[in-house]
């Protein structure tokens, strides 16, 4: 194993990035926080906005919740729609991507003989949802196996198209996969599958704030629905996601909790799923404005991508492991998955105990995954990260692997 010291220099961080901006978050400065991807991290200023919404609501609960909320949330949804180029009349807020996917697939029906498909890169909660719907309807559930490495978008596209089961009625495809961090060529997949009559739903949980999202385009290309979290990469408080469905389907899709507005406009139907905390959704315009005003969204996504691409190269070099995707970063956004040295499996009982060791001994917060019978680590890059965070990880893993 090689030291991180002699590796190519890290990309220059633009002014304000790295340690300088870290106080904008509450994050513990003792921790190398390399897991923005799981739950995001909300900036202090956005938490303050959220708190002000809480106070306004508690000051006049009925006025705010009963009378003003629809109009306030319409403003929030408009700003989110601008950000992802969504279609307002068939979009709405949801608390997370899991509930959006549940809403769509549980509102639809399948028949015995139909196949509900996804890929082996699927997020586990989505896998469970699809398996449940398949059982409910007597349909088949299948995963298209896409072993690593993946060499290019074309390679991924070809493999998805070659292996998609013949009777597939619904395909749920990641925009950015959770375990492998890969960007799927969703537009090409949509173009190829449209003539075959396959319903395609895009799981864009990681996409907003990491990639340029264009929901209108995905729906124009025939996607039945798209969801994306705003609480991961868009700085919104937790419990904040979007669902956009194809306008032709909007009347058929109900939220997971059906309530007063079941026959109302799409956004309204999703907005009211019983009394809830509306403050994450109300904070969206300020969360998006934070990203733009502090860094500029283009500069932020670019800097995160460059840092994680360098980190990906650094970790593969230091641990002498083969990359799972091209080292030029062409298939990743702001997260990268790296194979772990095989020797670690002899030293740790499971992936969770290695993750705990990295946290306990080296103060590194990073997910370690047992995927497809191998161990991987997934690093995130956000504005507050520094090259030092990844060097610390490189050294800690090398030491543990011995």
Ligand X SMILES: Cc1ncc(COP(=O)(O)O)c(C=O)c1O
Q: By the criterion CB under 6 A, which residues form the site for ligand X?
A: 38, 96-98, 123, 125-126, 174, 178, 203, 205-206, 229
The smaller minimum CB distance to ligand X, of residues 178 and 398, is found at 178
Nearest distance from residue 27's CB to ligand X, in Å?
19
Six token digits for residue 163 = 């292996």
The smaller minimum CB distance to ligand X, of residues 126 and 364, is found at 126
106 CB-contact burial (10 Å; exposed 0-12 / middle 13-18 / buried 19+): middle
Nearest distance from residue 40's CB to ligand X, in Å?
9
Nearest distance from residue 239's CB to ligand X, in Å?
9
Helix or strand run (H / E) with residue 106 = helix 97-107
The smaller minimum CB distance to ligand X, of residues 4 and 229, is found at 229
Closest alpha carbon to 181 in 335, 373, 377, 339? 335
Nearest distance from residue 292's CB to ligand X, in Å?
23
CA-derived radius of gyration, the chain = 21
Residue 218 CB contacts under 8 Å (≥ 6 apart), including other chains: 186, 187, 190, 202, 226
Six token digits for residue 50 = 């959220």
The smaller minimum CB distance to ligand X, of residues 97 and 171, is found at 97
Nearest distance from residue 228's CB to ligand X, in Å?
9
- How many Å apart are CA 78 and CA 80, to the nearest integer? 5
The smaller minimum CB distance to ligand X, of residues 180 and 386, is found at 180
The smaller minimum CB distance to ligand X, of residues 98 and 382, is found at 98
Q: Which residue is associated with the tokens 């799409």?
A: 266
**Contact assessment for residue 33 and residue 41, using Cβ atoms and an 8 Å cutoff:** yes
Q: Taking the mean position of all CA atoms in its chain, how far away is CA 72?
A: 26
Nearest distance from residue 97's CB to ligand X, in Å?
4
Dihedrals phi, psi of 173, to nearest 5 degrees: -125, 140
**Contact assessment for residue 201 and residue 72, using Cβ atoms and an 8 Å cutoff:** no
Six token digits for residue 225 = 């629905």
- How many Å apart are CA 329 and CA 315, to the nearest integer? 13
Nearest distance from residue 122's CB to ligand X, in Å?
7
The smaller minimum CB distance to ligand X, of residues 283 and 398, is found at 283
């Amino acid at each position: 194993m090689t030291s991180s010291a002699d590796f190519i220099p890290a990309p220059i961080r633009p002014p304000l990035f790295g340690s300088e901006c870290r106080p904008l978050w509450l994050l513990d400065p003792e921790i190398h926080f390399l897991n923005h991807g799981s739950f995001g991290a909300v900036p202090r200023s956005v938490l303050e906005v959220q708190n002000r919404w809480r106070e306004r609501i508690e000051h006049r609960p009925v006025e705010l919740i009963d009378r003003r909320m629809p109009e306030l949330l319409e403003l929030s949804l408009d700003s989110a729609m601008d950000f992802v180029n969504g279609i307002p009349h068939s979009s709405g807020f949801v608390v997370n991507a899991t509930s959006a996917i549940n809403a769509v697939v549980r509102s639809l029906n399948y028949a015995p003989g139909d196949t509900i498909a996804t890929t082996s890169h699927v997020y586990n909660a989505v896998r469970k949802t699809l398996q449940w719907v398949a059982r409910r309807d007597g349909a088949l559930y299948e995963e298209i196996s896409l072993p690593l490495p993946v060499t290019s978008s074309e390679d991924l596209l070809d493999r998805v198209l070659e292996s998609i089961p013949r009777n597939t009625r619904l395909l749920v495809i990641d925009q950015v996969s959770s375990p492998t961090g890969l960007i799927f060529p969703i537009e090409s997949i949509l173009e190829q599958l449209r003539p075959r009559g396959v319903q395609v739903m895009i799981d864009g949980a990681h996409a907003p704030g990491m990639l340029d999202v264009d929901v209108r385009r995905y729906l124009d290309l025939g996607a039945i629905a798209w969801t994306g979290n705003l609480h991961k990469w868009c700085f919104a408080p937790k419990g904040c996601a979007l669902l956009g469905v194809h306008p032709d389907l909007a009347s058929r899709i109900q939220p997971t909790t059906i309530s007063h507005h079941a026959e109302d406009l799409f956004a309204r139907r999703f907005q009211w799923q019983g009394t809830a905390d509306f403050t994450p959704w109300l904070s969206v315009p300020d969360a998006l404005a934070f990203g733009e005003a502090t860094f500029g969204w283009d500069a932020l996504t670019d800097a995160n991508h460059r840092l994680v691409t360098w980190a990906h190269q650094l970790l593969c070099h230091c641990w002498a492991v083969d990359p799972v995707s091209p080292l030029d970063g062409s298939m990743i956004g702001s997260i990268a998955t790296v194979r772990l040295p095989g020797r670690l499996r002899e030293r740790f009982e499971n992936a969770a105990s290695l993750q705990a060791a990295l946290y306990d001994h080296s103060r590194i917060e990073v997910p370690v995954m047992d995927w497809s019978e191998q161990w991987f680590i997934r690093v995130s890059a956000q504005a507050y990260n520094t090259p030092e965070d990844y060097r610390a990880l490189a050294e800690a893993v090398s030491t543990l692997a011995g």
